[in-house]
Amino acid sequence: MSEFSWPVRVYYEDTDAAGMVYHANYLRFMERARTEWLRRKGFEQDQLRDRDGILFAVTRAKVDFLRPALFNQALSVSVCLTRRGRASLEIRQEVRGPGGEVCCRGELKLACLDAVRLRPRPIPERLLAELSDVE
């Protein structure tokens, strides 16, 4: 059972004057990895929005910033589904530095929302099915 992970390079845009990745940007990195994880499973988020009428919104994030990631480093961001609800997902993610050290660890809760009304909606069956037997 292998965990999905996605490479992220640290550019100037990601850093701040303290010389490290700006803390809020780890949440961006994590979302990139979740997007690619869904894509790997066959789900494009623009189609989920336009055809299925849904989007996933982060409703809770618990993030530990453990070590600073630095300019120009090649990071990798993992995605591990830990709970699958009817209308929400829980995902654990780690951002690892070039030597494999964990820079940042997050537990995220995502809600499936109606893309227009931004109200909770059940996750489409074909997506649920794809998520059920993987992790």
Please say if 14 is a catalytic residue: no
- Residues 6 or more apart whose CB falls under 8 angstroms from that of 64 comprise 104, 105, 106
Q: List the helix and strand counts (H, then E) for the chain.
A: 3, 5
Q: How far is the CB of 113 from a second copy (least distance, A)?
A: 8
How far is it, in rounded angstroms, from Cα 26 to Cα 23?
A: 6
Nearest CA to 104 out of 69, 57, 59, 53 is that of: 69
> Binding residue for a second copy (CB under 8 A) from 20, 79, 89, 112?
20
Tokens of 53: 């009428």
- Stretch binding a second copy (CB under 8 A), from 55-63, 80-88, 89-97, 127-135: 55-63
> Binding residue for a second copy (CB under 8 A) from 7, 41, 42, 72?
72
Is 35 one of the binding residues for a second copy (CB under 8 A)?
yes
Residues marked as catalytic: 16
Contact positions vs a second copy (CB under 8 A): 9, 11-13, 15-20, 22-25, 27-28, 31-32, 35-36, 44-46, 49, 55, 57-66, 68, 70-73, 115, 118
